[in-house]
């Protein structure tokens, strides 16, 4: 290390008397009198206090702005006033020389480095290189590096081969918008950045590779959320030949819990086997296919019980109820709870209480008096129990209930064992659904999934013997603390079954061959049964760090509008570049 003998987090009392060279950023200067000052020097590894006690050295320090990069040579000595909160708190260094390595030319910083997380997010993203100097921000990126290394090590130990797949590929219908790249040598044609290495990893299975993985970059032009970054993200992509759903579950249940227990904010993580919840059961019981199993609340269907009580919103609706024992919330807190749920779900929840005397009070209580005993019996209510209610079409009642249960878990710590990582599998997803925009039958998730019942069930759906909406697939999600980490599936590796599956969504054999030529042809040469999954690395690290947003665990994230405001992307390009790509910008007349 040319510019240092030690790091700023390394020196201890045993080093007293040594002459050392340290390099780092000048974090803070505190002057005490005319020729005495204390300087905090920071590098990647920690901080060390410097004591400036000569007039010449003071002149050098005063001429520098904070965050200038300096190198000093000095002697280590024991501190009189020790700082037990710092690893280097027993010592200080008295410099005899100081060299400026990189001068900070600004008197004012956009924000205080050690309080950058309090700054406006736009400012943090614009000056991300300064934000990352904050040790609290930096530690998330260090954790990310360690987690990726652990994932790679675990996959290699399970005999997976790390194989990289192409970034420039063909556009493919995979549920989100593609990022397109114009092909200079092929006017009017485009590459697409992969939404996932889905087809390539399946083609690797047909090529005779038995177990594949990579830490794969994926690109999707979709809107940001708290747990989803726009633009690009990374996933632990894996696929196994001659494998079943059980084989995939076994690998994930062996790989993830130790990493979560080692690096997580909480040191408890579900052990194998994870709870398995069929999709329809998850929606009925938790109101979501991403249940947070740290919350012990479950919903019940009370349509038959409350559908005819004379309360307008309950008429011709499905009604769900969630009892909450020993809830001590005030009326103000309940009103806020209902308002928050309405914002999240788009529908209003309702409520009542069974008080200490066994009387139904509050909320919609007046509509339930005639059915008091039946309500208490059906819901098995005990005194001092709050009951939350949702109503509407089934999907809306479930969605609102999911939001209500989540908010109740936050409000009622006695019903949420927060400090753990609770994993579960959601299984048996519907193969098909009615599209909200098209109003026609569409694939619900991955079109390459194997249907439960195989070719036979698809033919029965074609003939009308079976409702296509009743067909489930070997599709599964792994969920942790209410966050979907990944979707996966047993793949449909049989061309005949694939064609039948696509027929139900009005795509014939020629369409399948045109849209998926490589995969279809490869399967025609004899493909093994195979299955896979791809847990999101960004979401994983977000959970481990206990972060509220995924942007906190990405080194250089985009903002919510998919803009890199630090680099100025996206940006306009020169006309000559467009001409080379055979592209013209057409103004929108609207």
| pLDDT for residue 3 | 82
Secondary element (H or E) of residue 263:
helix 245-263
Residue 450 neighbours by CB under 8 Å, 6+ apart: 473, 474, 489, 490, 491, 492, 493, 497
Do residues 38 and 47 make contact, with C-beta atoms less than 8 angstroms apart? no
Nearest in space to 351 (alpha carbons), one of 332, 372, 323: 323
Do residues 35 and 17 make contact, with C-beta atoms less than 8 angstroms apart? no
Provide the mean pLDDT of the chain.
Answer: 94
Do residues 184 and 581 make contact, with C-beta atoms less than 8 angstroms apart? yes
Mean pLDDT for the stretch of residues 214-241: 89
pLDDT in tens, 345-385: 999 999 999 999 999 999 999 999 999 999 999 999 999 99
Residue 255 has pLDDT above 60, yes or no: yes
Is the previous residue joined to 537 through a cis bond, with omega within 30 degrees of 0? no
Cβ-based neighbour number of residue 189 at 10 Å: 12
**Backbone phi, psi, residue 274, to 5°:** -70, 150
Mean pLDDT for the stretch of residues 190-213: 95
| pLDDT for residue 65 | 96
Q: Dihedral through CA 311, CA 312, CA 314, CA 316, nearest 10?
A: 130
pLDDT in tens, 323-346: 999 998 999 999 999 999 999 999
pLDDT band at 175 (very low <50, low <70, confident <90, very high): low
What the block records as the tokens of 112 is 């205080």
Q: How far apart are alpha carbons 91 and 528 in whole angstroms?
A: 64
Q: How far apart are alpha carbons 551 and 121 in whole angstroms?
A: 10
Q: Name beta bridge partners: 425.
A: 276, 478
**Backbone phi, psi, residue 41, to 5°:** -105, 130
Nearest in space to 441 (alpha carbons), one of 519, 506, 369: 506
Helix runs in 412-486, H state only = 454-463
pLDDT in tens, 119-161: 999 999 999 999 999 999 999 999 999 999 999 999 999 999 9
8-state DSSP, 240: E
Nearest in space to 516 (alpha carbons), one of 172, 197, 218, 178: 172
| pLDDT for residue 390 | 98
Residue 33 has pLDDT above 90, yes or no: no
Q: Name beta bridge partners: 38.
A: 30, 51
Sign of the alpha-carbon torsion through 472, 476, 481, 484: negative
Helix runs in 109-239, H state only = 121-126, 128-131, 135-157, 198-206
Residue 214 neighbours by CB under 8 Å, 6+ apart: 162, 163, 164, 165, 197, 237
In the chain, what are the domains? 13-102 (2.40.50.140), 121-270+528-590 (3.30.930.10), 295-415 (3.30.1360.30), 430-472+494-527 (no CATH)
| pLDDT for residue 173 | 63
pLDDT band at 451 (very low <50, low <70, confident <90, very high): very high
Q: Which residue has the tokens 């807190």?
A: 333
Q: Classify each residue of 503-519 as buried b or exposed e, where b means 16 or more C-beta atoms within 10 Å of its C-beta.
A: bbbebeeeebeebbeeb
| pLDDT for residue 98 | 96
| pLDDT for residue 139 | 96
Residue 1 has pLDDT above 80, yes or no: no
- Full 3-state SS string of 529-541: CEEEECCEHHHHH
pLDDT in tens, 45-62: 999 999 999 999 999 999
Do residues 88 and 47 make contact, with C-beta atoms less than 8 angstroms apart? yes
Mean pLDDT for the stretch of residues 443-465: 91
Alpha-carbon 567 to chain mean position: 24
DSSP letters, 24-74, are EEEEEEEE-SSS-EEEEEEETTEEEEEEE-SHHHHHHHHTS-TT-EEEEEE
pTM for the model stands at: 0.90
Q: What are the CA-CA distances from residue 358 to residues 311, 493, 500 (Å)?
A: 22, 59, 58
Q: Which residue has the tokens 């990893």?
A: 201
Return the CA Rg of the chain: 30
pLDDT band at 473 (very low <50, low <70, confident <90, very high): very high
Mean pLDDT for the stretch of residues 520-549: 94
The pLDDT > 90 percentage for the chain reads 89
Q: How far apart are alpha carbons 135 and 142 in whole angstroms?
A: 10
Residue 227 has pLDDT above 80, yes or no: no
| pLDDT for residue 586 | 86
**Backbone phi, psi, residue 286, to 5°:** -115, -10
pLDDT in tens, 273-322: 999 999 999 999 999 999 999 999 999 999 999 999 999 999 999 999 99
pLDDT band at 446 (very low <50, low <70, confident <90, very high): confident
Total residues found in the chain within this entry: 590
Nearest in space to 169 (alpha carbons), one of 157, 180, 154: 180
8-state DSSP, 464: T
pLDDT in tens, 386-438: 999 999 999 999 999 999 999 999 999 999 999 999 999 999 999 999 987 88
pLDDT band at 174 (very low <50, low <70, confident <90, very high): low
């Amino acid at each position: 290390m040319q510019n240092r003998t030690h790091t700023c987090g390394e020196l201890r009392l045993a080093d007293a008397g040594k002459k050392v060279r340290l390099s780092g950023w000048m974090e803070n200067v505190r002057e005490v009198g005319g020729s005495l000052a204390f300087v905090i020097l920071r590098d990647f590894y920690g901080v060390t206090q410097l004591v400036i006690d000569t007039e010449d050295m003071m002149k050098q320090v005063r001429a520098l702005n904070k965050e200038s990069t300096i190198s000093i040579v000095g002697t280590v000595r024991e501190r009189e006033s020790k700082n037990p909160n710092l690893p280097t708190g027993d010592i200080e260094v008295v410099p005899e020389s100081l060299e400026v390595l990189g001068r900070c030319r600004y008197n004012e910083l956009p924000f205080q480095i050690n309080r950058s997380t309090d700054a406006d997010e736009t400012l943090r993203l614009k000056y991300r290189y300064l934000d990352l100097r904050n040790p609290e921000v930096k530690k998330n990126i260090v954790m990310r590096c360690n987690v990726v290394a652990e994932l790679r090590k675990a996959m290699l130990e399970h005999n997976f081969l790390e194989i990289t797949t192409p970034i420039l590929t063909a556009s493919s219908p995979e549920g989100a918008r593609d990022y397109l790249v114009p092909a200079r040598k092929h006017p009017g044609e485009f590459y697409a950045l992969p939404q996932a290495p889905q087809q390539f990893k399946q083609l690797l299975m047909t090529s005779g590779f038995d177990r594949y993985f990579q830490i794969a970059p994926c690109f999707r032009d979709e809107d940001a959320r708290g747990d989803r970054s726009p633009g690009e993200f990374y996933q632990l992509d894996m696929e196994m030949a001659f494998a079943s759903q059980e084989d995939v579950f076994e690998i994930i249940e062996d790989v993830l819990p130790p990493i979560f227990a080692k690096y997580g904010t909480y040191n408890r993580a579900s052990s194998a086997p994870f709870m398995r919840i069929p999709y329809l059961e998850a929606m009925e019981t938790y109101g979501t296919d991403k249940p947070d199993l740290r919350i012990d609340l479950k919903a019940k269907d009370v349509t038959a019980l409350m559908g005819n009580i004379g309360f307008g919103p309950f008429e011709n609706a499905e009604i769900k109820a969630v009892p909450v024992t020993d809830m001590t919330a005030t009326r103000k807190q309940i009103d806020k709870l209902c308002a928050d749920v309405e914002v999240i779900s788009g529908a209003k929840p309702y409520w009542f209480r069974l008080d200490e005397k066994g009387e139904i009070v509050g909320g919609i209580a007046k509509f339930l008096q005639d059915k008091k005993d039946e309500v208490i019996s059906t819901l098995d209510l005990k005194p001092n129990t709050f009951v939350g209610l949702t109503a509407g079409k089934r999907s809306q009642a479930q969605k609102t209930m999911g939001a209500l249960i989540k908010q109740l878990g936050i409000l009622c710590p006695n019903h949420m064992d927060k400090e753990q990582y609770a994993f579960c599998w959601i299984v048996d997803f519907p193969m098909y659904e009615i599209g909200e925009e098209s109003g026609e039958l569409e694939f619900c998730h991955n079109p390459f999934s194997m249907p439960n019942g195989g070719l036979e069930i698809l033919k029965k759906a074609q003939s009308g013997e079976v409702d296509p909406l009743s067909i489930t697939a070997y599709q599964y999600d792994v969920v942790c603390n209410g966050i979907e980490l990944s979707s996966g599936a047993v793949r449909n590796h049989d061309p005949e079954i694939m064609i039948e599956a696509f027929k139900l969504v009005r795509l014939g054999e020629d369409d399948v061959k045109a849209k998926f030529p490589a995969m279809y042809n490869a399967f025609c040469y004899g493909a093994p049964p195979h299955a896979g999954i791809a847990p999101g690395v960004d979401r994983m690290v977000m959970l481990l760090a206990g972060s509220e947003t995924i942007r906190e665990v990405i080194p250089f994230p985009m903002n919510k509008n998919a803009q890199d405001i630090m680099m100025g992307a996206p940006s306009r390009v020169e006309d000559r570049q467009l001409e080379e790509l055979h592209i013209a910008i057409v103004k929108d007349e609207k």
